[in-house]
Amino acid sequence: MIAAGAVAGLLSLMLTKILVRERSETMPLHVVLSHRLAPYGWCLLCAAWFAFVYYTGGGVLERAEYITVFVICLIIAAVDLVVKKIPNSMLLALVAARILSLALRFDIEAVKSSFLGFFAAAVIFAIPSFFGVSVGAGDMKLAAVAGLYLGPGGFLQAMVIMGALMSFYGICILTRKTGNLKTQAAMGPYLATGLIVTLVFPLIG
């Protein structure tokens, strides 16, 4: 599993670079992609996650879902962090993985919860636009996908995690005087983190 994770990390980095290159005129020099230690970081991160999923137990389907969602969310977070865009192809991959998981589980309640979460998330992220607050289309789509995975209660937990992480980021840039309250930040990495954490450690049913 560790070896498989390392390979997945390297492939994820390669795919991320392709997605970034498609969305930018020049390849940005970002530490996530361009640092000489970046490949090792990606490999170690994915290897650690694969090992964690293996040792936490659970069924094969559950483990496969945790691994798939993590890898895709990692790519989404990296692309959004570098070019402030969330690739639709990765969102579609998440949706396809969830639909396949639901189909294999044959759990009607899980299906109901997923679709309730999907619509609840879509509505919640659409509300700010009615008050003139701009929310990126990619962020809205990712939120809806998070709702599809987590259901209404789980999506609320993911939002709390996202809010806490973004608040911590805001405190850091204010303390270091590298930005202010109007500084734009990519929401994708924080929401993707909330999705992963809530999927593995759900606190709200």
Determine, yes or no, domain membership for 33.
yes
Range of the domain at 39: 2-200
Tokens of 70: 């993590």
Nearest Cα residue to 39 out of 18, 67, 20, 14? 14
- Cα angle at 196 between 194 and 202, to 5 degrees? 80
CB-based contact 181:55 (threshold 8 Å): no
Determine, yes or no, domain membership for 115.
yes
What pLDDT band is residue 138 in, cutting at 50, 70 and 90?
confident
C-alpha to C-alpha distances, 188 to 45, 65, 87, 139, nearest whole angstrom: 18, 20, 11, 6
Give the pLDDT confidence of 86-97 residue by residue, as tens digits: 999 999 999 999
What pLDDT band is residue 33 in, cutting at 50, 70 and 90?
very high
Determine, yes or no, domain membership for 95.
yes
Nearest Cα residue to 149 out of 194, 89, 181, 187? 194
Tokens of 46: 């994915």
pLDDT at 184 over 70: no
What pLDDT band is residue 125 in, cutting at 50, 70 and 90?
confident
End-to-end CA distance of the chain: 30
How many domains does the chain fold into? 1
Q: Which residue has the tokens 């579609």?
A: 92
What pLDDT band is residue 144 in, cutting at 50, 70 and 90?
very high
What average pLDDT does the segment 135-143 reach?
84
- Cα dihedral value 146, 150, 152, 154, nearest 10: -110
pLDDT at 134: 64
Determine, yes or no, domain membership for 205.
no
Nearest Cα residue to 66 out of 32, 94, 106, 107? 94
Longest dimension (CA), the chain: 52
CB-based contact 33:96 (threshold 8 Å): no
Determine, yes or no, domain membership for 44.
yes
Give the pLDDT confidence of 16-27 residue by residue, as tens digits: 999 999 988 888
